[in-house]
A and B are shown apart, each in its own frame.
Chain A
Amino acid sequence: MSNAILRLDDVYTDIAQYHVLHGISLDVPEGGVHVLLGRNGAGKTTTLRTIMGLWRARKGAIVFRHHDITAMKTPDIARLGVAFVPENMGIFGGLTVEENMRLAAAHGRFDDQRLQRIFALFPAMEKFWDRQAHALSGGQKQMLAISRAIIEKRDLILIDEPTKGLAPAIIRAMIDAFREIAQETTILLVEQNFHFARALGETVAVIDDGRIVHRGSMAELAGDEALQNRFLSLSMEAH
């Protein structure tokens, strides 16, 4: 695919003495939501962290737009327009909601229009604007993490299991929010919740034991029981 915004080419990553990724190759097309499915320990989180430069690839190449970011430092990757929402959300609990967002805003100044759009998506952010983030509920923290990722326009957002531990009602709200966010950016989403993934994803890649074992469109996977059984048993058996 030539319109890929992000390309991983045969990426190997080790954590301490453990080999975690064994040659991940992946194209993420520009625009929309793209999903990485896989069971616990398959290497999904490692893939995201390797893209972000938080772990180093031992081998292979990662290209974002036309920048080779394989060996780049995390802050430089972020400055190219990549946002990261880690599994634990990475909220600064001792800082207020406002301070959390201000850190992510360019030069610490808010673009009012974007801020209003975020408040429309997640009204809780406006309500708890001056509250310390550790006092927020789990869902609100997740909203804050996502708000922080979109307070500036980013080209690519990496999100690690945003639905983990959230109530179904909040997940439904998240789906709407993600649809809107995906209008202006590309989202690479790591998920275990297939229903959430199916509602959003355009393309899907299934990862198992550090390798991509399936790639295709979400529609194809959603329509093919046999395929689902083969790969989703992989991604579901942990549940």
Chain B
Amino acid sequence: MSLLVNTSRRVPVGRLVVYGVVLVVGLCLMFAPFLFPDVRAQEVAARICVFIVLVASYDLLIGYTGIVSFAHTMFFGLGAYGTAIALRTMGPGFDAILLGGSLGVLAALVLAVLIGLLSLRVKAIFFAMITLAAASVMMVLASQLSEFTGGEDGMTYTIPRFFSPANTLVEDADGKALRIFGVALNGRLALYYFVFLSSLFLFLAMLRIVASPLGTVLEAIRENEMRAEAIGYRVVSYRTAIFCIAAVIAALAGILRAVWLRYTGPDVTLSFDIMLDVLLMVVIGGMGTMMGAVIGVVIMTLAQFYLKDLMEAGASATADMPLLPDMLNPDRWLLWLGIVFILLVYFFPAGIAGTLMGKGGHK
């Protein structure tokens, strides 16, 4: 795709819209406990924070470097499982989070180096298959080593008391948690801000990475691998490096997820459904734009939480028609998502953010 054409077509308005939306999302997340005090909305907000990190780190691979990996939830899961297992065996303490989390991240790093060196020299498609195979083995391991992992059921555990709703951060005159705008300053709030600030930090780190010389080299590799090699870049090393960075960030996101949920199981970390979600989020938001990750995550998460209600209504409204209620059954929401996804890949391969920002996306 011609770079020249794209620059001339760039619409600053679209760019402003994207940055504006991201800013609004950021502000909403920052003040989420005050803006949306109900429990479900806080779950949504925390999920969005963690997934922005996860999806943006995946975008480092698929969008910025052109690597298709299906092992991203495996790394996510390693971080989560490491934390969860440590919390369960060592008891609720920050030392457990630190140790378990570090081990999880380390495991992710080692695996990423191994997979990267072993197979990043082969074709993209080969790599996709190998990561898919690795991820499914990890999934099977997690369900079979049930004495460590809780198997299919996963495991619940307690997190440090500091993060519990019973912990008061600032006491008022009666010795209860002080309330600001009706929101108690308790451990639960601290936990949310722990998740939010960690996610923000990781997201900014990734923005820094893509703006760094490393990011530029990666884009050069994506655009023309042979040329990059000819110029003298060691393509495999760069790819392995970014693969490891993305894996570590995914594992860190996994720690956040494990601490927030106080539960870790295949369905919330490792499963292929999560991998699909991540893929859909990246593509919907726009590959190769960190802003796209934010938009994709927000749209998909809101859809997951609220679209099903809408479909439910649609299904009951069309109950006596043939086929339609089946198709509008809330369980079938993936059908529609799949169709939307295919259409997006055809017509807007740059995703929402990419299209708005006039980035033609890459071929």
Physical contact A–B (CB less than 8 Å): yes
Q: Contacts of B2 on A, CB cut-off 8 Å?
A: 14, 17
Tell whether B318 is near chain A: CB-to-CB under 8 Å.
no
A16 within 8 A of B: yes
- Number of chain A residues close to chain B: CB under 8 A: 3
Nearest chain A CB to B66 CB, angstrom units: 14
Whole-angstrom distance between the alpha carbons of A164 and B2 in the complex?
Answer: 33
B4 close to A (CB within 8 Å): yes
Name B363's closest neighbour in chain A (CB-CB).
A16
Chain A residues with CB under 8 A of B3: 17
Number of A-B contacts defined by CB within 8 Å:
7
Interface residues in B, total, Cβ within 8 A: 5
Interface of A is mostly: loop
Report the separation of the CA atoms of residues A17 and B4 in the bound assembly, to the nearest whole angstrom: 8
Q: How far is the CA of A16 from the CA of B224 in the complex (A)?
A: 9
Tell me the bound Cα distance from A102 to B274 in angstroms.
52
CB of B122 within 8 Å of the partner chain: no
CB of B231 closer than 8 Å to a CB of A: no
Q: How far is the CA of A17 from the CA of B1 in the complex (A)?
A: 6
Q: Enumerate chain B residues within 8 angstroms of A17, measured Cβ to Cβ.
A: 1-4
A12-33 contact mask (Cβ, 8 Å, vs B): 1 or 0: 0010110000000000000000
Q: Could you say which residues of chain A place their CB within 8 Å of the CB of B4?
A: 17
Q: How far is the CB of B228 from chain A (nearest CB, A)?
A: 13
Q: How far is the CB of B37 from chain A (nearest CB, A)?
A: 51
In the complex formed, the residue of A with least CB distance to B4 is: A17
Q: Which residue of A lies closest to B6 (CB)?
A: A17
Rounded to whole Å, the gap between the CB of A20 and the closest CB of chain B is: 13
* Least CB separation from A17: chain B residue: B2
Instruction: Give the shortest distance, in Å, between A58 (CB) and chain B (any CB).
Output: 10
When distances are taken between beta carbons in the complex, the residues of chain A under 8 Å from B224 are 16
CB distance from A92 to the nearest CB of B (A): 20
Closest B residue to A16 by beta carbon equals B224
- The complex places the Cα of A47 from the Cα of B3 at a distance, in Å, of 23
Which 7 pairs between the two chains have the least Cβ-Cβ distance?
A: A17-B2, A17-B3, A17-B1, A16-B224, A17-B4, A14-B2, A16-B1
Can you sample 7 A-B contacts with CB below 8 Å? A14-B2, A16-B1, A16-B224, A17-B1, A17-B2, A17-B3, A17-B4
